[in-house]
Amino acid sequence: MTTRIALGVAYRGTAYQGWQSQPGGRTVQDKLEAALSAFVDAPVTTLCAGRTDAGVHGLNQVVHLDSPVERDAFSWVRGTNRYLPPDIAVQWSREVPPDFHARNSARSRRYRYLLLESPVRPALEADAVGWSFRPLDRDAMRDAAARLIGEHDFSSFRSSECQAASPVKTLYAVDITRHGAYWRFDFHGNAFLHHMIRNIMGCLVAVGTARQLPGWIDAVLASRDRDAAAPTFAAEGLYFVGPQYDAALGLPEHTPAMDWIA
């Protein structure tokens, strides 16, 4: 008899080759599964809500696993974290129904991109923010972003390595705010293609620095051609905020690190 457990996991992606397990074990999934296996003294495999690339961070990555043992929710957090490196930490644990699926049960997903606007490159915040040494125009970027809202074929923003069955996704909102020298771009959609956010960011920065006009985004979107868009933007400033599920499940959607990068 197994029990299905959902965990919320936060991590700094700088030292890892992304989320998904790879030979060599230098991924977040490899570290998490090794820690879970040590904690329950049995092999454990996990499935996540959304895979992240090398250098991308997670604030509330959700995974599920089928546990062969019974443990208190608090024990899943403290016990697993005992075996994890300092840049990965389980935030919460909940028992979920047997049919819960971290990826397929998600109703939407949220990402955040943090960007430093400064003539000088990041130092203290290196590997935690993107960077633009040119000034950015908020109104122009908001105009461009608004053109992406809704259901579209996002092929122009899709990596050639993307394995999604369809390039058609729905983007619910793109919110662009600024605090001092730091910009925050919040993306909310039903699902995202491989490199989709980073490719959109490349285009928004091109518009924000006046290398393109906001209406250029319409042409990029309509072309359905990756070559029509700007280069893929840096991974360092991208955070997977997390998935959203049916409220009846009662799964947390907030972790302390979300306040730190606010």
Helix (H, G, I), strand (E, B) or coil at 257: helix
CB 233 within 8 A of CB 141: no
Pairing of β 108-117 and β 130-132: parallel
Burial label, 63 (beta-carbon count in 10 A; 0-12, 13-18, 19+): buried
Q: Is 53 a catalytic residue?
A: yes
Q: Of the candidates 108, 92, 124, which has an alpha carbon nearest to the alpha carbon of residue 171? A: 108
Phi, then psi, of 159 in degrees rounded to 5 = -65, 150
Considering the candidates 53, 72, 225, 259, report the single residue annotated as catalytic: 53
∠ CA 258-259-262, nearest 5°, is 85
Q: How far is it, in rounded angstroms, from Cα 223 to Cα 175?
A: 24
Q: How far is it, in rounded angstroms, from Cα 126 to Cα 146?
A: 30
The dihedral of CA 146, 151, 155, 157: what is its sign? positive
Residue in this structure with the two tokens 């809202």, named with its chain if needed: 149
Q: How far is it, in rounded angstroms, from Cα 22 to Cα 261?
A: 29
CA distance readout (Å), 52 to 2, 19, 57, 184, 244: 28, 5, 7, 19, 17
Q: Which residues are catalytic?
A: 53
